[in-house]
Amino acid sequence: MEHTPENITAFRAARWRVRTAKIAAAMCGGWPLSDGLHTREYAQCMETLRKAEEHLASFPQEWLQLYDELRAEEESPHSRSPNMLGGTLPPDLRQPRGE
């Protein structure tokens, strides 16, 4: 598979689908000791997750490894941004108030 913008966009979308499907499956599972794991919705979430993971597996393994390496670099303690949302603050918000 070539590194075209379309393929890279499709790869990013596939990664996003897997991440959101995992979150949805966890939410459908419900609280511990609930019957959430035995519902139709949970089965649908797990099926969606299975399909998303199969689609992601269709991309080259090197892409997955490269993505994981980039994520590890981004999550290093030296690269954390001061903003809790993961972005950087706009320049006008970096100045202390009253100046």
Q: Is 44 among the domain residues?
A: yes
Report pLDDT for 89.
47
What is the residue range of 61's domain?
Answer: 5-74
Q: Is 92 among the domain residues?
A: no
Rounded mean pLDDT of the chain? 76
Residue type, 45: C
Report pLDDT for 93.
47
How many distinct structural domains can be found in the chain? Answer: 1
Mean pLDDT calculated for residue range 71-88: 55
What angle do helix axes 40-57 and 5-29 make, rounded to 10 degrees? Answer: 160
| Residue 79 per-residue DSSP state | G
Q: Is 54 among the domain residues?
A: yes
Whether residue 49 is predicted with pLDDT greater than 90 in this model: the reply is yes
Of how many residues is the chain composed? 99
Residue type, 26: A
3-state SS, residue 91: helix
